[in-house]
């Protein structure tokens, strides 16, 4: 299982509270990360209260993910790396999150064209994680 952490705003760690969306295909392990069956949970970590929203990953729900983006400081995108049949779908949905308009170029083209790797106040990282084993989750939050 893998998690892609996207830091949307550099002020994330200056806030005492932060809202995080947990997105990914259905059955990818989003709820397992929180070890709860609810859709919204508050988690305190390093003196920051995270309000974590576990949004459903079914095909019919994915178009509504964008409705939750305002006032969100980070997105955790969960991928079930053992579900190899759906990795392409997970990739397509992830790239759809990054696109603002239909017909937009993919993230790799934008990254290269705008030389985003040189921008210091916007970052992204990938962390290998296992919610079941509890590995890699805190590294993402520490980031």
Active-site residues, by number, are 58
Rounded Cα distance between 25 and 59, Å, is: 8
Rounded Cα distance between 121 and 83, Å, is: 34
**Does the annotation list 2 as a binding residue?**
no
**Does the annotation list 29 as a binding residue?**
yes
**Does the annotation list 57 as a binding residue?**
yes
**Does the annotation list 136 as a binding residue?**
no
**Does the annotation list 25 as a binding residue?**
yes
- Beta strands in the chain, from DSSP E residues, in sequence order: 2-7, 17-23, 40-45, 48-54, 74-79, 124-128
Rounded Cα distance between 3 and 33, Å, is: 10
**Does the annotation list 14 as a binding residue?**
no
DSSP state letter for 75 = E
Helix (H, G, I), strand (E, B) or coil at 31: helix
**Does the annotation list 104 as a binding residue?**
no
Q: Which residues are annotated as a binding site for Mg(2+)?
A: 31, 35
Q: Which residues are annotated as a binding site for GTP?
A: 24-31, 57
Q: Which residues are annotated as a binding site?
A: 24-31, 35, 57
């Amino acid at each position: 299982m893998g998690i892609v952490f996207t830091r949307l705003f550099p002020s994330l760690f200056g806030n005492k509270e932060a809202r995080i969306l947990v997105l990914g295909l259905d059955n990818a392990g989003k709820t397992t990360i929180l070890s709860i069956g609810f859709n919204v949970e508050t988690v305190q970590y390093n003196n920051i209260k995270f309000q974590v929203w576990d949004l459903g990953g079914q095909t019919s729900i994915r178009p509504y993910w964008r409705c939750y983006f305002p006032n969100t400081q980070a997105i955790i995108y969960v991928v079930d790396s053992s579900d190899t049949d759906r990795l392409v779908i997970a990739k397509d949905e992830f790239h759809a999150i990054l696109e603002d308009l239909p017909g937009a170029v993919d993230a790799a083209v934008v990254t290269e064209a705008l030389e985003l790797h040189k921008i210091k106040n916007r970052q992204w990282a990938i962390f290998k994680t296992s919610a079941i084993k509890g590995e890699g989750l805190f590294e993402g939050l520490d980031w």
